[in-house]
Structure 1
Amino acid sequence: MKEKNNGQISFEYKISPNYSNYTIAGAHGGLQPGGLITANIFSERTAIPKRITHRLTEEGGLGEIIEEDKKDAIIRDVLFSLSMTPNTAKSLGKWLIEKAEEYERHFVKVAAKEESDG
């Protein structure tokens, strides 16, 4: 944190060695006894088969799938948890809404223009 004499403050951002980027599908969580709000962040995917059996072609290559051992469900992988104060939750929520609206202003106009130019 670097302070300036004119009533301003600057923050420098450094990337943690543990930094990861995730595409998320949602969150599940709630209020904690200590007053924090916790959001368990998850991604979604189809189940990965435990086992697949193929027929072999006459040439020895893979043929059709004849058996697949796979759950018939969508998997929600809980990637990490965020715990925050109510004020931080409001601030984060406001920021996310602003970014979603910014996306709509930019990309919805572009898509509508491309459609009309079509």
Structure 2
Amino acid sequence: MEQDHLAESLNDLLTNVSTMIRGELQETNNVLELVEKMNTRVAEEYKGFGDVASGLTIFVEQLKCKSGSFDEYVQQIDTIEQQVTEFEAVISMLDKYVSLLESKVHSAYQIPPP
């Protein structure tokens, strides 16, 4: 009778350990399923980002093509800016000569400066 009680206790112990291990494995399995679903969702998000990046790459290439057609105009504007700078320098020099000439005329004819 005591052996039956010992066998029954041992059987209960093994059943409880088996149940505990099964529960732990089920919990691990649930976590792994959750991680798998999360990975799938993240992969879908990154695929969307890849699509956006591809679209942006195409858009940038189109902009480069369009901006290339403006290079000629940019060069013309740079040339005009350079000519304006040179023209301003000539005007400044002429202004100095005119002022000098006016002062000589005023002193030659003894006209008081304005």
Q: TM-score, normalised by structure 1?
A: 0.28
Q: Would you tell me which structure has more helix in proportion to its own residues?
A: 2
Structure of larger gyration radius: 2
Work out which structure has the larger RCO, using CA pairs closer than 8 Å and 6 or more positions apart in sequence. 1
TM-score (norm 2): 0.29
Q: Which has the higher strand share?
A: 1
